[in-house]
Chain A
Amino acid sequence: MFDRISDSFSGAIRKLSGSGSISESNVREAMGEVRDALLEADVQYEVAEAFCDKVLKDALGREVTKSLKPGQEMIAIVHRRLVELFGGDPDADQQPAPPGIMKMSPGPTIVMMCGLQGSGKTTTCGKLAGLLKKQGRSVMLAAADLQRPAAVEQLQTVARQANELPGGAQVHFYAEPDKVAAYGKAVGVAVKVCQNAVKEAKAKGVDVLILDTAGRLHVNDELMGELGQVKSLLSPHHIFLVVDAMTGQDAVQSARSFHQRLAVDGVILTKFDSDTRGGAALSVKEVTGAPIRYIGVGEKLDALEPFHPERMAGRILGMGDVVSLVEKAQQEVSEEDAKKLEAKMSKGELTMDDFLKQMKTLRKMGSMKSLLGMLPGIGSMLKEVDIDEKQLDRTEAMIQSMTPAERSRPDLINNPRKRRIASGSGTDQTQVGQLVKQFGMLNKMTKQMGSMSAGSKVAAAQQLSGSGMFSGMPALPGMGGKGSTKSASRGVKKRKPKRR
């Protein structure tokens, strides 16, 4: 999604590093391109201008032109400014963890969601409930949208789905369906419903109460007043503004209006899994001063992630987001499992079963594309690589069609066995052959890596990233587009991603 801003930055910066000697006018020209890229990405006009001015000033001040590696220097400057724009502290070595939902005693912590129609409030309520449930906190979702037809039913279903997510706590639902009325006919009723919900939440002893309010236009005085009333009567602990990441220049105006009225203390960006360049994200923070707390990255209820300014800045610049990747992995894999696996890998004794398990774990973490996008230097070349998730299904099917003996000793698999596996999995013999061959290569490679010292492992990994380890991943079963990965691997070699 931010890839294109990232592309334009890379393009502009490559121009800089390519042109032997760099003059002030080179830098200015590159910033012009960056500005256009930001505008094309829906960054608000003034925000984009101000950003470019700041970067230009920094660049000229630090005499980028005389630096040996002007491209790197520029990236560092832009990165700093991006982190700042996203609400992070560019000078901090360790960014503080983004704040979660505060814990109130006695409960409940009251969270009010607001936003324009169609920004994704109801779905986000469910996602937030799921996140809290995972932390062991009980939640009540209250339906304060009495206007949109079936909004109450939608929230009820969402609450039920959230309750089925893993986690120890309960997700409750509160509504007064008889108060529902047509648009504009139920103004003010929501206030009473919210008050009742608080009583109910107290009685049930839930930890967090989330109020799902009706979508409204920021220019609708009456309905904005209703939110103001809810705020003054219940004094919610959090007021989150839900913003569609695909919004254009208007994002700033609506955000500003909501903020003036309600003093929003956090923004949740939705539909981040689209290919929007997400410039609205850059601007909303700048204009309201309220931090971006979470981003919605999928249709399912577990697709909500905390927002990390410095990681997002890194992602934009193609530096990758390894920290998020590691965190995701830690959520899914226990340390013990990881150690066992490492031992096996270093001996080259990986079995098809291990491989299947790994693949399943990996897929639980998200789509291949979103995972690969977090690796340094990979993001920008992903567009050309068409990752076929169906091919992963086929690989799973092939392994599942193997006997236990075949899974632990793939060298057993001769032609008659290949035929059987192929017909069992609905594939053909060549595909099975490929899988076995590639699996053998994988084992060989991991064994080589296993015999290295820790230091040389890092070096080897770096080398591998150039020689096709990462691009070799796409060659593993599950990723199509071999032709394009070859050129992509060259891209990696050239770029040699250097993080921070």
Chain B
Amino acid sequence: MAMFRGVMDRLKKGLTKTREGLVSSLRSIVHGRTLDDALIKEIEQRLIQSDVGVVATRELIESIRTDAKAGKLTRGEHVIDHLKREIKAMWPEADRSLKLAPSAPTVILMTGVNGVGKTTSIAKLCAQLRGEGKTVLLGACDTFRAGAVRQLEIWAERLGVEVVKGQQGGDPASVAFDASAAAKARGVDFLILDTAGRLHTQAGLMDQLTKIRRVVDKQIPGAPHEVLLVLDATSGQNALRQAEEFGKAAGVTGIFLSKLDGTARGGIVVAVRHTTDIPVKFIGVGETPEDVEPFDPERFVEAMFAE
């Protein structure tokens, strides 16, 4: 995973951009101040503004108040460490690596609402796996959006892998079926299935995901081994609903947090963590296939509160 080095720098650089006048960082607010009600109110505001959500924010603020009353927190600076600790504790040590099949191929199903960056995220996963010397096959199950199959094909050409595709407007489950059969026949290590973006409110389309799961499982018992939900780091509290609905329909096993290179701080995963147990597995921090890294709570929290 040598390629991940450097990405961290880029992530930090990405997050530093936020300091440039848009929203003053929490650190600069608390600097040199006594912890009082006015400051707590400002801290609340910053947390809300990073999409942590009302409920999670309220709990974090409560914990600050409790510790402040107990005399454990007196200075503004203490709050940063306190928050880091509290948020980090939301992700206890856990296995955040890709779940592998007992025997190849491992099938990864990518899901998410429209425009979150599923196809780009697939390119990133694919590049990472290729870098580790694994063989990968892609299945283009997005038969709905114009140009989606071609988009995946272009990535595949760039990354030197093959794509199984169907007809535009065809049945995505049949593409999944063919792709699974091909993955077995070719003996590849990984099969990654791209699906069409769908709003979690569209029951018919959500059922389609369940069907894809079923079809894949029929070909390769136990598959898909990993179902990743791609969440846009800029998304708001609606991400909670996305996690819930996709969890139900597709049995999501992990979150891929995309677009963390903007000014959004991805506080939404804190909100999501607060309501579900789905682990965050990867974060995407740029447009090139190399811009991916495994989720690490320690570093994520550091970056969230970085100067």
Residues of A within 8 A of B (CB): 36, 39-42, 44-45, 116-120, 147-158, 161, 182-184, 217-219, 244, 246-251, 253-254, 256-257, 271, 273-277, 279-280, 299
Contacts and interface: CB of A to CB of B under 8 A. Distances in A.
A230 to B, nearest CB: 20
Nearest to A42: B236
B238 A150 contact: no
A248 B51 contact: yes
Interface of B: 14, 17, 22-23, 45, 48-51, 53-54, 113-117, 119, 144-151, 153-155, 158, 168, 199-201, 232, 234-239, 241, 259, 261-264, 268, 287-288
A149 B154 contact: yes
A42 B147 contact: no
B201 A118 contact: no
Contacts of B148: 150, 154
Contact of B287 (A120, A161, A183, A219): A183
Given A148-B151, A149-B151, A249-B49, A41 B237 contact: yes
B48 A150 contact: no
B232 A150 contact: no
Contacts of B158: 182
> Lowest 3 A-B CB distances belong to which pairs?
A154-B147, A248-B236, A118-B115
Contacts of B119: 149
B246 to A, nearest CB: 13
Contact of A277 (B14, B17, B45, B238): B238
Contacts of A254: 234, 262-263
A313 B153 CA distance: 45
30 contacts: A36-B54, A40-B54, A41-B237, A45-B48, A45-B49, A120-B114, A149-B150, A149-B155, A150-B149, A150-B151, A152-B147, A153-B146, A153-B147, A154-B150, A156-B146, A157-B168, A182-B158, A182-B288, A218-B263, A246-B113, A246-B235, A246-B236, A248-B51, A249-B51, A249-B264, A253-B22, A254-B262, A274-B199, A277-B238, A279-B236
A251 B201 CA distance: 22
Contact of B114 (A150, A153, A218, A271): A271
B262 A248 contact: no
Contacts of A149: 119, 150-151, 154-155
Contact of A248 (B17, B54, B151, B264): B264
A271 B201 CA distance: 11
A224 to B, nearest CB: 12
Contacts of A219: 14, 17, 262-263
Contacts of B239: 246, 248
Contact of A116 (B54, B234, B238): B234
Given A149-B150, A154-B145, A157-B147, A275 B115 contact: no
B261 A244 contact: no
B49 A42 contact: no
A117 B53 contact: no
Given A154-B145, A157-B147, A274-B199, A249 B236 contact: yes
A251 B263 CA distance: 10
B287 A184 contact: yes
Contacts of A41: 237
B54 A39 contact: yes
Nearest to B153: A150
B50 A40 contact: no
Contacts, number: 143
B199 A271 contact: yes
Which of A217, A254, A273, A275 counts the most chain B CB atoms within 10 A?
A217
Contacts of B51: 42, 248-250
Contacts of B146: 153-158, 161
A244 B258 CA distance: 15
Contacts of A244: 115, 232, 234-235
Given A249-B51, A250-B263, A253-B263, A118 B236 contact: no
Contact of A249 (B50, B145, B147, B241): B50
Nearest to B236: A248
Contacts of A246: 113, 232, 235-236, 238-239
A217 B237 contact: no
A157 B151 CA distance: 13
A218 B45 CA distance: 23
Given A119-B115, A217-B262, A253-B23, A151 B147 contact: yes
Contacts of B264: 248-250
Given A244-B115, A274-B199, 18 more contacts: A41-B237, A42-B238, A116-B262, A118-B116, A149-B119, A150-B151, A153-B146, A154-B145, A156-B146, A157-B147, A158-B146, A182-B288, A184-B287, A219-B17, A246-B239, A248-B51, A248-B237, A249-B236
A250 B234 contact: yes
A14 B2 CA distance: 59
B168 to A, nearest CB: 8
A45 to B, nearest CB: 5
A42 B237 contact: yes
A394 to B, nearest CB: 15
A156 B150 CA distance: 12
Given A118-B232, A183-B288, A250 B262 contact: yes
A469 to B, nearest CB: 27
Which of B45, B51, B234 counts the most chain A CB atoms within 10 A?
B234
A251 B155 CA distance: 29
Contact of B234 (A155, A247, A273): A247
A450 B119 CA distance: 57
Given A149-B154, A219-B263, A274-B199, A117 B115 contact: yes
B164 to A, nearest CB: 17
B114 A275 contact: no
A250 B150 CA distance: 31
